[in-house]
Structure 1
Amino acid sequence: MKQRILIVEDDLTIQTQLKNLLSGNGYEVDVVSDFSKVIEQVKTFAPHLVLLDIKLPGNNGFDICSQIRTFSDLPIIFVTSSNTDMDELNSIMLGGDAFITKPYHTAILLAKIASLLKRAYPVLQSEQMAYGGAVLHLEASSLDYDGQSVELTKNELKILYYLFKNAGKICSRGDLVEFLWDNQLYVDDNALSVNINRIREKLAGIGLTDFIKTKHRQGYTI
């Protein structure tokens, strides 16, 4: 399965260069032409990663990043000529995963894309895992149980992948946080609890209750 990248760039020359570069390296690529409908295109195309400029017609890249973060944690790379320290700080604080300035070195950009995709979707090469009657579909990012299915976000999929991979063992909160947010600063430990609770609610909705067990002061297990 090809990984999908959405380019949000209003300079047609750079847009074309990026599209050709990424397509030539095996990615499925789409570009934004109507900048009033970027969020709609993100939801429709469902990219694995977004390349985002800051200075755009209408909403700037910071606004778009903030809007994406209300419903998705997909990797976002700012690729921009705005190269001040404040711009880079804003990109981090708003949820950007990387900040690359123009003119960029294509090899460095490709390496950063590959690194983020590998970290965000470590299980895309596999197909499915099963435990306790539940089947985790890795490429589809969903879980089946007793004839019913539930869709998962990227982090929900990663948590379940880690728990399935270590089924029967206790996975510490620290190990899960490191697996989910490797090398990211200012991660609130409560974010893991929020994700676990959301997974439990989704699983309960298809009749799978008490699947993820909490081990007091130790972590989680299935």
Structure 2
Amino acid sequence: MLSSQGILIVEDEEKLAVILEKYLSAAGYQCHIIVDGAEVIDAFQRINPCLVLLDLMLPNVDGITLCKQIRLKSQVPIVMTTAKVEEIDRLIGLEVGADDYVCKPYSPREVVARVKAIMRRVNLLTQQEPDIAHALDVDEQTFMARFNSQSIALTHVEFLLLKAMYTHPGRIFSRDKLMDHIYSDDRIVSDRTVDSHIKKLRKKLQSIAPEMSFIHSIYGAGYKFEPA
């Protein structure tokens, strides 16, 4: 059983996997390598890693499918790695729940840096969680949001947007994914519609907590909830 700093490396290029393991081990992380997509879920449940490095192209079960399966079980950080560099591939990876995306060829040092950055963020959010939970409350039963017990008047759509991101702090949501959360009837709306709702939601949150920034824009990808 790995420690709480264990990392699951899912990479079918064994030489590359070994190099990643070497660099991550030097950074203080224990690693476990899986080269076959069909073995990932069993290994994930057995190892319970703190982060998954997940290649997109794998034998038997691909990375996108595995990312979806892991997200049904856990919110563990997932960094997808792939030789596909097209924008659509990056957005698909983020939309199914990946936290970050690294394109091949990459420097192992870059991967280590990305892992460290994500783990710092996770640790910070864990430390802040009691304060944030006390300060901002999103109540699904009443469709109300409160900050320090002060009610925030939100529209139904604004509440759904906040709830989607609030329940997954730090995760990047594409505009299409957010539209899935706020419109269940498959209506066709533009990206500007989501941007407009987000703008209004931000304004309402800042009117009650001007010193806080809750929702952040990620260029080319979407939005994330991360109190700062």
TM class by shorter chain equals: 0.5 to 0.7
1:82 alignment partner in structure 2: 84
Structure 1 residues 157-203: Cα deviation after superposition (integer angstroms, max 9, x where no partner)? x744644799xx549897xx679624734586xx9xxxxxxxxxxxx
Match of 2:66 among 59, 64, 67: 64
Superposition TM-score, scaled by structure 1 size: 0.59
Map 1:47-196; keep pairs closer than 5 Å.
47-122=49-124, 159-160=129-130, 162-163=132-133, 170=149, 181-182=169-170, 184-186=172-174
TM-score by length of 2: 0.58
Quote the offset at 1:34 in angstroms.
Answer: 4.5
Higher helix share: 2
- In the comparison of the two structures, how many residue pairs are matched? 160
CA distance in 1 between partners of 2:131 and 2:63 (Å): 32
Report how far residue 33 of structure 1 moved. 4.2
SS in 2 for 1:121: helix
SS at match of 2:124: coil
> 2:76 & 2:171 partners in 1: Cα distance?
16
Give unmatched runs, 5+ long, in structure 2.
137-147, 153-158, 182-207, 209-228
In structure 1, C-alpha distance between the alignment counterparts of 2:170 and 2:130, rounded to whole Å: 17
Rounded Cα–Cα distance in structure 2 between residues aligned with 1:34 and 1:108: 24
SS class of match (2:37): coil
**Structure 1 56/161 Cα, relative in aligned 2: closer, same or farther at 3 Å?**
farther
For 2:12 and 2:60, the matched residues in 1 are separated by: 11
Q: CA RMSD in A?
A: 3.5
Secondary structure (helix, strand or coil) at the match of 1:56 reads: coil
User: 1:74 touches 1:120 (CA, 8 Å); kept in 2?
Assistant: no
Q: Please state how far the C-alpha of 1:121 moved relative to its aligned partner.
A: 2.9
Which residue of structure 1 lines up, in the alignment, with residue 188 of structure 2?
none
